[in-house]
Amino acid sequence: MISCDEAALICNKSQYQEASLPEKLKLRLHMLFCSTCSSFSKRNKQLSKLFNRAGLHFLSDSAKEQLRKRIQNEL
Chain segment 38-71, per-residue pLDDT in tens: 999 999 999 888 888 887 777 888 999 999 999 9
Within the chain, how many helices (H) and strands (E) appear? 4, 0
Whole-angstrom distance, CA of residue 62 vs CA of residue 3: 34
Q: CB-hemisphere CA count at 13 Å for 74?
A: 6
Which amino acid is it at 48?
S
Q: What is the value of pTM for the model shown? A: 0.67
Give the confidence band of 20 by pLDDT, cuts at 50, 70, 90.
very high
Which amino acid is it at 32?
L
Radius of gyration of the chain (CA): 17
Whole-angstrom distance, CA of residue 49 vs CA of residue 58: 15
